[in-house]
Amino acid sequence: MFNLESLRSSLIVSCQAYPGEPMRDPRTTAQVAQSAVIGGAAGVRVQGIGDIRAVRAAVDVPVIGLWKDGHDGVFITPTLRHALACAEAGADIVALDGTRRERPDGLTLAETVAALHDQTPALVMADCGSAADAEAAAAAGADIIGTTLAGYTDERPKTTGPDLELLQELAALGLGVPVIAEGRIHTPAQGRSALGAGAFAVVVGTAITHPATITSWFAAALES
Ligand SMILES: CC(=O)N[C@H](C=O)[C@@H](O)[C@H](O)[C@H](O)COP(=O)(O)O
């Protein structure tokens, strides 16, 4: 089992392509993940069973695995079945919806986390949308809290960069588990600020691994 401490103050790179996109291919995802590791990523975050398997075989760093099913409501690793499949595919950490919303399989977050801990060696990262989510997820036994869903549920505004206010609030609460900053970290300086606001580590996705979006930023800037 990997040591969570290896991720302290580090950069984790999320390597994801969305349904219908040209880069949506496990081989491509594995190559992107390998490139991120060459650049200094201490961990990677990967969506989908095929991608988790391909990336697990291609890199030695910890893999955070998730399985998105749908795009509304609870869609990040929504059920225990999805979570167990991520662990079975090789995820060291399974990321799942860590909000207080009802889960499609009717299990509570605590029941889901307990079953994962019982049946697999994986740690659990709860993708939260607010401080109330984070407190509940820590109480439910999650090993890691992520700010992944801040700005994507009704509870927090969608900040331009990372939700630093939420990170500070979580640091002040002293949840007893590491908090990983994730979501809309688009520059190295924003990553640094997230660590300064109390994050244990930082996940960057779009700004490193989604060329269509990065290109659109440049294209828009040249138009205006
Ligand atoms: C809300 C949601 O579905 N987030 C997803 C979670 O895995 C991904 O689409 C994000 O790319 C990831 O969280 C990293 O964030 P950013 O791409 O902003 O650096």
Residue 149 alpha carbon to ligand 1 centre in Å: 8
**Statement: residue 173 has pLDDT above 80:** yes
Domain count within the chain: 1
Which among 130, 127, 160, 122 has a CA at the least distance from the CA of 145?
A: 127
The single-letter DSSP state of residue 177 is S
The pLDDT tens digits of the residues spanning 7-58 come to 999 999 999 999 999 999 999 999 999 999 999 999 999 999 999 999 999 9
Q: How far is the CA of 181 from the centre of ligand 1 (A)?
A: 11
125: helix, coil or strand?
A: strand
- The CATH number of residue 124's host domain is 3.20.20.70
Is residue 224 scored above 80 in pLDDT? Answer: no
- As given in the structure block, the two tokens for residue 201 are 């580590």
Q: Are the C-beta atoms of residues 108 and 100 closer than 8 Å to each other? A: no
Q: Is residue 40 left, alpha or beta, with left meaning phi > 0 and alpha meaning psi from -120 to 50?
A: left
pLDDT tier at 64 (50, 70, 90 boundaries)? very high
- Residue 79 reports pLDDT greater than 90: yes
- ipTM higher than threshold 0.95: yes
DSSP at 153: S
Domain extent at residue 46: 4-223
Q: How far is the CA of 111 from the centre of ligand 1 (A)?
A: 25
Contact 43, 7 (CB under 8 A): yes
> What is the pLDDT, as a whole number, of residue 1?
74
Q: Whose CA is nearest to atom 14 of ligand 1?
A: 205
SS3 readout for 96-107: EECCCCCCCCCC
Point out the ligand 1 atom lying closest to the alpha carbon of residue 16. Answer: 11
d(CA 191, CA 199) in angstroms, rounded, equals 9
- The binding-site residues of ligand 1, defined as CB within 6 angstroms of any ligand atom, are 14, 16, 66, 148-149, 152, 182-185, 203-207
The answer for residues whose C-beta is within 8 angstroms of residue 183's C-beta and 6 or more apart is: 147, 148, 149, 150, 151, 152, 162, 163, 203
- pTM value > 0.95: yes
Q: Decide if 161 contacts 199 (C-beta within 8 A).
A: no
Would you state the pLDDT for residue 146?
98
Taking CA atoms only, the protein residue closest to ligand 1 atom 10 is: 205
Mutate to test the pocket of ligand 1, among 44, 182, 186 (most ligand atoms within 8 A of CB): 182
Residue nearest to atom 4 of ligand 1 (CA): 148
Closest CA to 155 of 209, 101, 220, 81: 101
pLDDT at 138 over 80: yes
Phi, psi of 55 (to 5 degrees): -70, -40
Distance CA 1, CA 177 (A): 18
Can you read off the two tokens belonging to residue 214?
Answer: 């990065």
| Atom of ligand 1 minimally distant from the CA of 75 | 3
Alpha carbons 78 and 103: distance in angstroms, whole number: 6
